[in-house]
Amino acid sequence: MPGRLADRRIIVTGAASGMGRAIAILFAAEGAQVALFDRDVRLLQEVAAETGQTAIEVDVSDEASVAAAVRKAAEAMGGIDGVINAAGILRELPFDLTTSAIYNDVMNVNLRGPFLVCQAALPELRKAPMATIVNIASNAALNPHPGMAVYSASKAGLVGLTKAMAKELGPTIRVNAICPGIIRTPMNASMWEQGGIGDAAVEATIALKRPGQPSEIAEVCLFLTAEQSSFVSAGVLAVNGGALY
């Protein structure tokens, strides 16, 4: 029985770990061809071996690297009709300790990266009768809190970029954003390490009393990429377990 993404050809950035990995695995299981983008070659090859999909090393903050990777993806899959921008980095520091170098690193990956990937993929996306882009933003874009000023700004920028692209690129390209809350991924593993805030503190901030799992974000990405969401564009969906902050 064909999956919900049969015959689709989709780039997933940040595919080596966390939410990107979960998205890539689910999309491959649903019948899509997936171009796995990441700069961690070792982990990327593991995901490629698990899914049978194409691994492409790329630095999403570098324009030349992105252009080359998108060309390879289009060649490998015979085109591109979907993008999931899941690559991201988190630097949690007080505002007065946040250097311009940290600012640049976060903005380059979290906001410049999706911009570059979408621009490079746009000629291929426009060839498709219906293409999709899903940008992984953050609950911090909707409700910033102390220690995450630059991260919050990068993700708020991504929400704005999503809405603007949706209005420019319709009717044949749908663009949506997901704003995850606390998801148990390698990026925020320190929350559960010694000295981290731990489950009790996490549960106190979430109505559902638990962190989310990468697979739960992957399922929402699947909905926004599949035909079931055919009238959804410029959407910004909070997937945060009912965040209380």
**198 lies in some domain:** no
**209 lies in some domain:** no
Looking at the predicted structure, is the pLDDT value of residue 84 above 80?
Answer: yes
Beta bridge partners of 139: none
**200 lies in some domain:** no
CA dihedral over 67, 70, 75, 76, signed as positive or negative: positive
What CATH code is carried by the domain that includes residue 140? 3.40.50.720
Task: State the pLDDT at residue 194.
Answer: 46
Query: What mean pLDDT do residues 53-76 have?
Result: 98
Backbone angles phi, psi at 24, to 5 degrees: -60, -45
The residue range of the domain holding 159 is 9-185+215-229
**237 lies in some domain:** no
Cβ(161)–Cβ(135) under 8 Å? yes
Q: Among this protein's residues, is 151 annotated catalytic?
A: yes
**202 lies in some domain:** no
Interval 147-166: pLDDT, tens:
999 999 999 999 999 999 99
Catalytic residue among 66, 151, 153, 162: 151
Domain count, the chain: 1
**3 lies in some domain:** no
**4 lies in some domain:** no
Cβ(87)–Cβ(109) under 8 Å? yes
Looking at the predicted structure, is the pLDDT value of residue 192 above 80?
Answer: no
Minimal CA–CA distance to 28: which of 56, 9, 46, 1?
9
d(CA 5, CA 13): 17
Cis omega (within 30 of 0) on the bond before 94? no
Looking at the predicted structure, is the pLDDT value of residue 85 above 70?
Answer: yes
Q: What is the mean pLDDT of the chain?
A: 94
Instruction: Calculate Rg over the CA atoms of the chain.
Output: 17
**210 lies in some domain:** no
Looking at the predicted structure, is the pLDDT value of residue 185 above 90?
Answer: no
Interval 9-63: pLDDT, tens:
999 999 999 999 999 999 999 999 999 999 999 999 999 999 999 999 999 999 9
